[in-house]
Amino acid sequence: MSEYLIPILIEPLEEGGYLATSTVIQGLIAQGRTIAETIEIAQDVARKIIESCIEHNDPLPKELLTASGQAKSFEIKIPVPLEV
C-alpha cells in the first residue's frame, strides 16, 4: 500500500461549510460542513482519482509525494477558535 501527501486548499464558504481543492490533482473538489469532514471527503476523492489513473495507466502528477520518500516540508494553516 502506498501513501501520498497531497496539498489541498481549504476555504470557508459564504453559505457555511468548507471547500477543498488541489492544484496537484486536477478535479479534486470536496465540500463538507467542518474542516475535518472536508479533509476526509478530499481524501476519498483523491484516492478515487489516483486509483483511476493507475487503473487506466494514466501518469500520476509528478508533484505527488510519497509519504515514505517525502523530503520536503509543507505549511498548513489551522483554525484556533478562542473565546475572548
Contacts of 54 (CB under 8 A, 6+ apart): 60
**CATH C-level class of 4-66:** alpha beta
pLDDT given at position 64: 77
- Give residue-wise pLDDT tens across range 6-17: 889 999 999 999
What single-letter amino acid sits at 71? Answer: A
Instruction: Tell me the per-residue pLDDT of 5-63, one tens digit each, with 9 for 90 and over.
Output: 888 999 999 999 999 999 989 899 999 999 999 999 999 999 999 999 889 999 888 77
Rounded CA-CA distance 19/11 in Å is 5
Burial of 24 (0-12, 13-18, 19+ CB in 10 A): middle
Domain range annotation of the chain: 4-66
- Radius of gyration from C-alpha coordinates of the chain: 14
- What's the pTM? 0.75
